[in-house]
Amino acid sequence: MPEVVAFDEIKERRTRRDMPDGHFYNTPFIDHSQEYPHGPNAFMIESSENRILDTHFHDVDQFQIVVGGGGTLGRHVLAPHAVHFSRGFTPYGPLVSGAGAGVSYVTLRARQCPTGGAQRLPAFREKLEKMTGRQPWQVTGVPQFLQPSVDGIAMNVIDGLTDDRGLAGYALSMQAGTRTVSPGMHGGDGQYLVVLKGSLIHAGEEKKGIAIIFTKPQEGPMPIIAGPQGLQGLILNFPRPIDQASLTKSSSQGSPTAAPHDQLWQCELCAFAYDEATGLPEEGIPPGTPWEAVPHDWVCPDCSATKADFSAVEL
Ligand SMILES: [Zn+2]
């Protein structure tokens, strides 16, 4: 049976932590490390305004969904309901909560992170550098909720949220009382449904948003029934985990060379790539800008690493 947890049922678990730069609330939704070895784990963070969570990484793949407020992640603007996916050992940040409402987000993991909290840079940089077989990667998708069609249901793929190991995301809109089934996992590591608005009917009970449902890989697609106000939510499929054994052999150690014909420069920490051919027009760097001409104080859009943390990639 998928695990279904609605905020209303567990709100007494919500705890406040005061920090030098404000405060945040943490509400644990799902945490069953005993029952299902190594996971899953889902929680919601509500941060007060203008707080900075330094660039950091975790040991496991994770989704983070903005459920309220906004802010920035690295150089990217975060708005509801942006979905950030990061592989294990991929630094991202800093995460800055916006003015006013701050930022609220849900973190979803198919497996428990063995080290727990954020491993911040630069303190944990050495850990990344010593690893072999790391495949850092991250992507942010913005779901588009479509008007339900004749059958009262719209399920729309979230652009960009895809990889060759089964990563997938869907924006789901359902009218009251309609039924559907979640998409297949294609060998992935488990599936979350996050009910953002309206409610889900599960085992005869109404589960109002925010509700979080985790389905294990062997459980297959889950039936979804929308409550009396309809349902708006996200379905997120975890990719198959990286086979560490096969990676250590095939991974290149990357011998950075700064030959003048190199056109692709990659962040050694998070794998963001700067392509001289396309530049970064959204940051005012026009196509065709050589690496040397990128401003010295420019930083990685995803993890805020400096230019010195990039190395040339042979095309
Ligand atoms: Zn980076």
What domains appear along the chain, each with residue ranges and CATH number? 3-141 (2.60.120.10), 153-237 (2.60.120.10), 254-313 (2.20.28.10)
Q: Is 54 helix (H, G, I), strand (E, B) or coil?
A: coil
What's the gap in Å between 111 CA and the centre of ligand 1?
24
What's the gap in Å between 130 CA and the centre of ligand 1?
17
What's the gap in Å between 74 CA and the centre of ligand 1?
9
pLDDT computed for residue 232 by the predictor: 98
What's the gap in Å between 270 CA and the centre of ligand 1?
4
Q: Which residues lie at CB < 5 A from ion ligand 1?
A: 267, 269-270, 272, 300, 302-303, 305
pLDDT computed for residue 35 by the predictor: 65
What's the gap in Å between 247 CA and the centre of ligand 1?
21
Residues 6+ apart with CB under 8 A from 305: 55, 91, 121, 267, 268, 269, 270, 299
How far apart (Å, rounded) are the C-alpha atoms in residues 135 and 86? Answer: 11
What's the gap in Å between 47 CA and the centre of ligand 1?
24
Kindly give the confidence (pLDDT) of every residue in the chain, 315 residues in length, as a single tens digit, with 9 standing for 90 and above: 888 999 999 999 999 999 999 999 999 999 876 666 677 999 999 999 999 999 999 999 999 999 999 999 999 999 999 999 999 999 999 999 999 999 999 999 999 888 878 999 999 999 999 998 889 999 999 999 999 988 999 999 999 999 999 999 999 999 999 999 999 998 899 999 999 999 999 999 999 999 999 999 888 889 999 999 999 999 999 999 876 555 544 444 444 444 455 589 999 999 999 999 999 998 889 988 999 999 999 999 999 999 999 999 876
Give the sign of the dihedral formed by CA 44, CA 185, CA 206, CA 9: negative
pLDDT digits (tens, 9 = 90+) for 98-131: 999 999 999 999 998 888 789 999 999 999 999 9
Is the CB of residue 165 less than 8 Å from the CB of residue 87? no
Determine whether 18 is exposed, middle or buried from the number of CB atoms within 10 Å of its CB (0-12, 13-18, 19+). Answer: exposed
What's the gap in Å between 268 CA and the centre of ligand 1?
7
The model's pTM is 0.89
From the list 167, 157, 214, the residue with the least C-alpha distance to 31 is 214
| H-type alpha helices, the chain | 7-10, 125-130, 244-250
What's the gap in Å between 312 CA and the centre of ligand 1?
14
Q: What tokens appear for 120 in the block?
A: 């911040």
Q: What tokens appear for 106 in the block?
A: 């849900």
pLDDT computed for residue 259 by the predictor: 45
C-alpha distances (whole Å) from 310 to each of 73, 188, 268, 270, 293 are 19, 31, 6, 10, 14
What's the gap in Å between 300 CA and the centre of ligand 1?
5
What's the gap in Å between 307 CA and the centre of ligand 1?
9
What's the gap in Å between 86 CA and the centre of ligand 1?
12
pLDDT computed for residue 108 by the predictor: 97
What's the gap in Å between 135 CA and the centre of ligand 1?
13
Q: What's the residue count for the chain?
A: 315
pLDDT computed for residue 132 by the predictor: 87
What's the gap in Å between 245 CA and the centre of ligand 1?
25
For 120-126, the CB contacts below 8 A with 24+ separation are 120/54, 120/55, 120/56, 121/54, 121/55, 121/56, 121/57, 121/91, 121/269, 121/303, 121/305, 124/56, 124/57, 125/269
How far apart (Å, rounded) are the C-alpha atoms in residues 122 and 304? Answer: 11
What's the gap in Å between 40 CA and the centre of ligand 1?
27
